Amino acid sequence: MTEEGLSGRGRELAVLERLLADAAEGRGGAVVVRGEAGAGKTALLERVGERAGEVTLLRCAGVESEAALPYAGLQVLLRGTLDRARRLSGRQQAALRGAVEPAGAVAPGDRFLVGAAMLGLLGELAEERPVVVLVDDAHWLDLETVDALLFAARRLGMGRVALVFAVREGVREGSAVLDGGPGLPVLQLGPLSDEEGAALLAGRAPDLHAAVRGRVLGLARGNPLALVELAGALTPAQRDGSEPVDEREIAVLPASRRVRRIFDERIRALPAPTRTLLTVAAADDTGDLALVMAAAGRLGAGAGDLGPAEAVDLVRVSGHRFVFRHPLIRAAAYQGALLAQRTAAHRALADAAPAGGDVGRRAWHLAAATIGYDERVAAELERSAELFRARGGRAAVAAAYRRAAQLTGDQESRSRRLVAAAAAAAEAGQVELAASLADEAGPVSAPAAVARSASIRAALEHARGRAEPARVLLVEAAREVTADRPATGAWLLFESAAMAWDAPDPAGAARDTRERLAGLDFGDCPVHRGANGVLGALAGDGVDAAAVREFAAYVNRTRRERGLSQQVRLHGWDMLLGEYGAVHDEAVALEQECRAEGAVGVLPRVLLRLARCRLFLGRHRDAYTTAVEGLEIALDTGQHHLAGLLRSELETLAALDGEDVNEPDGPTRGLFSGVEPNPFLRMRAQGLLDLGLGRYETALRRFAVLTEGPQRHLMLAWHSLPDQVEAAVRLGRAEDARPAQTRFARWASATGTPWARAVELRCRALVAPEGQTEQWYERALDAHVGDGRPFEEARTRLLHGEWLRRAKRRAAAREALAMALQTFERTQARAWADRARAELRALGAAPAPSVAGPDPVGRLTAQELQVVRLAATGLSNRDIGARLFLSPRTVGYHLSNAYPKLGVTSRAALGGLELE
């Protein structure tokens, strides 16, 4: 397929036209078009815009000088559409307005909330007609716009929206949109073949001599823009072959560089005022014609100077917008100007900015216009950084503080600004940049700066998988600041204890921390005692339950004094005590707060904690739906570490249900695509599967690694001790089970948690002499009453029933096994249910395939179940979408799929169903 100006791009154009057709039919989607400069990305986007038909067309382009301004891209993309945001939830509407209207007083908050609001706005626009979003040079978009767009793009679902990103290869290392990521396919534009290139030249320059055509093809190396511009730059004599072409180009230059040189030459040939006007326009990059002309006027250029650039097709005016024909022309106009000309352009733009306008943009222009140190401009940039922080622009905060530091002569002030830049970069996920800035900051002296710098450096080390150096940094900082600031020192001690938790030798790390900080006075505070409780658990002293409870209560009592992200980070330490009911209830409150505030980036960690608590509490279906949502949002927000942990929770649930997660065709495999599991948690899941299927030798080996290895302090290692006991006893090795039984008994006694006491009694029954077995089982079952762990109680009944069958007490065994089977089926633990059925068949009871009967709710997907439960409460599709960060159309799609599975025809019937 050959298209005018798009020779050799027929396949790619067909893919994009299919995307448009799917969107028109209610199957939203997105694609990343990737290639070198001049490969045809912009031309493809132009053609998509022309072919889109009756749609709402939204467009923007990333610009290098705007890459540090939060939501700069979104401000251009959504210009004129905010009137449709009035139907969004109050929080989403405020977030979108705060992002797009920089002069407003509303802070947008979490950048992924802006993405959810963007998704909602696109859905509202799509109610009238399909929406096509075209984003050129997406590699130069600011981080906040990229995150918002990618979040929306990955959750388009059944919306009538098509989104196309165009990105240039090798320009901005680490740009989030370059690789697409989960859910975003990449359309790679390679070089044209000689045949395709010749066809393009035949259409654009049919009079080229054959030898000249071959030379141009060789120089262009398959780059479409290079072909067109190189041919267009030839003189008539060169076109007919009477003058040579070779001396015009240097053969080693990349094709895009050659095209840049052509544009450079065209710009240099323009009158000086026109070049000035182009430099100002390239430096501004908002496309606001009035602002560009006002700034250019300060440098002696006027509207009449635009004509020469229009005449040679470098720029055009569209309405009130100033548009460069190609991004390389903008680059040539800016980079080709002298430094003095660029700084003058930036200063003119700063001076021409309207009063009360975008303060951040003005500050950046002032900074770009400044050479050397200038405390006044540095202070203005610092004020801008705090405005960016209020708008959720962490990457912009880092960039502003970094530039402010470069303009700062005083070393202490410079270090302080670099530390602030490093903190913001770390929060934005720019780990390497944050490390570089922290190193550049050098040593600091003020206690607050010492603590902050140490926390930043430690977090970066931890993110690189180096928990031990991170711990040492925090310990040394605590030694330095505690005498002056005991409370700050106590928090550093607690952070170091948390790092010791992940160290290669946790016990040794805990002992070393204690030794280094011995004799320091941290004052009488629960933070200090909580840190000591954690260190004691790691060092092998046992759990100081009172200290951990006191710290957890303190964190919960003072949670409103902290931001939501810090609340989530500090929450849940009482899981060390096995108090999953209390942790669960607190996590539910945090989840509700995250949804109310739109804290999408924090939500996956809360959902991980909720999923884990629900698994421990035997609410396996709820744990599954929670983990699936958490996994999807973690991937959508680029939090791959959390995605791996959430995958591990799903693998554990799959193992309990008898599914081998290593099977390539397992029912949950699609959820795990591209997500690396946590090795420790995977071994736990595999051990549970082995135990449930009766593969006791393999199970015992796995549990021994978990409970006796370097991570034996983790809660799941403590949980594995009773499993280790059971596997050893089933192999007839009761004596080998005693050490694990003794360790678990010690932990259960220290925590005083009812369920742990019940399980500890079950372990006693397993290792007890034959004459004492039954009394321990009976005591265990009594202890299980009201302990909130139905799955563990069912396991106790299964083991008791197996013992009763061997003791020839058939009626009692049948009752115990039937009760266990009922719970296993209800909690979707098929591996254990099959064991209970096998025991019942051995008694001659021949149980029905399912004691619980048909379960239509079990046929729903995780997202369908979430949607149905919310719909049953009376929420509208729009309200459900706002809560789950989905489009209303996607909510409607899930409902329409759920109705036949549930045997209902409308949402009115949902209220009468048992959906738990």
CA dist 697 → 66, 157, 348, 732, 902 (Å): 61, 46, 77, 11, 42
* CA 634 and chain centroid, separation: 5
Indicate the number of domains in the chain: 4
Domain of 217?
194-265
- The answer to the question of residue 19 being in a domain is yes
| CB atoms inside a 10 Å sphere around CB 124 | 20
Two structure tokens written together for 641 = 């570490």
Contact between 831 and 689 (Cβ < 8 Å) = yes
CATH number at residue 870: 1.10.10.10
CA 333/CA 349 separation, integer angstroms: 16
Two structure tokens written together for 470 = 């991170």
Beta strands in 296-445 (DSSP E): 315-318, 321-324
Helix (H) or strand (E) holding 61: strand 56-61
Of residues 57, 180, 166, 52, the one with CA closest to residue 122: 57
Q: Greatest CA span in the chain, whole angstroms?
A: 110
Whether residue 18 is found in the same domain as residue 85: yes
Whether residue 175 is found in the same domain as residue 211: no
DSSP string, 174-239: T-TTTT--TT--EEE--PPPHHHHHHHHHHH-TT--HHHHHHHHHHHTT-HHHHHHHHHH--HHHH
Tell me phi and psi for residue 222, to 5 degrees.
80, 5
Paired sense of beta strands 186-188 and 161-168, if any? unpaired
Whether residue 81 is found in the same domain as residue 163: yes
Please tell me whether residue 168 adopts helix, strand or coil conformation: strand
Low-confidence ranges of the chain (pLDDT < 50): 1-3, 105, 174, 247-253, 851-852
CA 606/CA 625 separation, integer angstroms: 14
Whether residue 116 is found in the same domain as residue 215: no
Report the residue count for the chain: 916
CA dist 13 → 43, 788, 878 (Å): 10, 58, 34
Please tell me whether residue 31 adopts helix, strand or coil conformation: strand
- The answer to the question of residue 458 being in a domain is no
Whether residue 241 is found in the same domain as residue 318: no
- Choose the final residue of a domain: 244, 265, 286: 265
Of residues 381, 383, 355, the one with CA closest to residue 366: 381
Two structure tokens written together for 652 = 């554990």
pLDDT score for 5: 52
Please tell me whether residue 167 adopts helix, strand or coil conformation: strand
Residue 277, judged by CB atoms within 10 A of its CB (0-12, 13-18, 19+), counts as buried
Residue 367, judged by CB atoms within 10 A of its CB (0-12, 13-18, 19+), counts as buried
Whether residue 34 is found in the same domain as residue 99: yes
Contact between 530 and 496 (Cβ < 8 Å) = no
- The answer to the question of residue 311 being in a domain is yes
CA 544/CA 61 separation, integer angstroms: 57
Paired sense of beta strands 315-318 and 321-324, if any? antiparallel
CATH number at residue 121: 3.40.50.300
Whether residue 102 is found in the same domain as residue 120: yes
Please tell me whether residue 892 adopts helix, strand or coil conformation: helix
Sorted by sequence, the CB contacts under 8 Å of residue 413 that are 6+ apart come out as none
- The answer to the question of residue 282 being in a domain is yes
Give the torsion through C-alpha atoms of 323, 327, 330, 336, to 10 deg.
Answer: -160
Per-residue burial over 641-651, b if 16 or more Cβ lie within 10 Å, else e, is ebbbbbbbbbb
Two structure tokens written together for 185 = 């396919």
- Choose the final residue of a domain: 352, 368, 384: 368
Contact between 178 and 25 (Cβ < 8 Å) = no
Residue 190, judged by CB atoms within 10 A of its CB (0-12, 13-18, 19+), counts as exposed
Of residues 551, 557, 590, the one with CA closest to residue 574: 551
- The answer to the question of residue 169 being in a domain is yes
Whether residue 165 is found in the same domain as residue 41: yes
Tell me what percent of the chain is helix, strand and coil, each rounded to the nearest 5. 65, 5, 30
CA 751/CA 753 separation, integer angstroms: 5
Whether residue 278 is found in the same domain as residue 242: no
Two structure tokens written together for 403 = 């530039």
Paired sense of beta strands 186-188 and 56-61, if any? unpaired
- Choose the final residue of a domain: 168, 188, 208: 188
- The answer to the question of residue 719 being in a domain is no
pLDDT score for 181: 54
Using a CB cutoff of 8 Å and minimum separation of 24, what contacts does 371-375 make? 371/339, 371/343, 372/407, 373/407, 373/408, 373/409, 374/407, 375/407, 375/408, 375/409, 375/410
- The answer to the question of residue 794 being in a domain is no
- The answer to the question of residue 868 being in a domain is yes
Whether residue 80 is found in the same domain as residue 149: yes
pLDDT score for 671: 62
CA 116/CA 648 separation, integer angstroms: 26
Whether residue 260 is found in the same domain as residue 289: no
Helix (H) or strand (E) holding 591: helix 580-597
Strand partners, 31: 164
Using a CB cutoff of 8 Å and minimum separation of 24, what contacts does 890-895 make? 890/155, 890/156, 890/157, 890/158, 890/159, 891/867, 892/158, 893/157, 893/158, 894/861, 894/863, 894/864, 894/867, 894/868, 895/864, 895/867, 895/868, 895/871
CA 498/CA 507 separation, integer angstroms: 12
Please tell me whether residue 668 adopts helix, strand or coil conformation: coil
CA 852/CA 822 separation, integer angstroms: 6
Whether residue 242 is found in the same domain as residue 200: yes
HSE, CB side, 13 Å, CA atoms: give it for residue 522. 22
CA 140/CA 62 separation, integer angstroms: 4
